[in-house]
Amino acid sequence: GLLGLHRWYLKDVEGAREYFFSFGLCGVGWLWDAKRLPEMVEAYNDAARSAHTQRLVVANDPITAERFCDNTVTNTKYGKNLFETLLLFIPKNLAEQFSRHMNRYFLLIAMLQLNAYITPTNPWTTFGPLIVIFAVSAAREGFDDAARYRSDKTANMRLFSVAVDGELRQLPSKDIRVGNIVYLE
């Protein structure tokens, strides 16, 4: 993998750092790993299988539940709540916009037009359409993210019957934790 990403995946942190800072050992490591990758993956999978031979399930144990994440559904791109969304929307949206080659190309052209020695045209002839395209794309993404947020909120507030202390209680899905016994009808 590029810059040792395959070694991160295989939990070889030391090897991954080595590949990252040496660009795959200047390409020689990539060739070596291309030959050894199936063997490395098989060894990793064997170790993972042997580590999971016994499984212990503990029901309604709050200590076990704390070790795992909650059941909250989050599909929004720009943040989990309104504050986070307002804080991260513009930087993340601009990063997404400039991940497209066409937008980077037009930005480069617009920046070149700032120099009067290179071009006789007004730079706003390129900056104007670029800003309009970014604004329309950002507005669309904002509306889509708001719709995802509303959908997530509906999914997180859906009630389920959960056995707690020997009786069934109605809990929102976001409050269900690992180890809870859920009654399905």
Q: Mean pLDDT, to the nearest integer, of 152-158? A: 95
pLDDT value for 162: 93
- Quickly count: other Cβ atoms within 10 Å of residue 37's Cβ: 14
pLDDT value for 89: 92
Please tell me which of 20-24, 41-45, 106-110, 148-152 the model is most confident about, judged by mean pLDDT.
148-152
| pTM for the whole structure | 0.61
Q: Which residue is associated with the tokens 């190309």? A: 105
Two tokens, residue 84: 């986070």
Indicate the burial class of 132 (C-beta count within 10 angstroms; 0-12, 13-18, 19 or more).
exposed
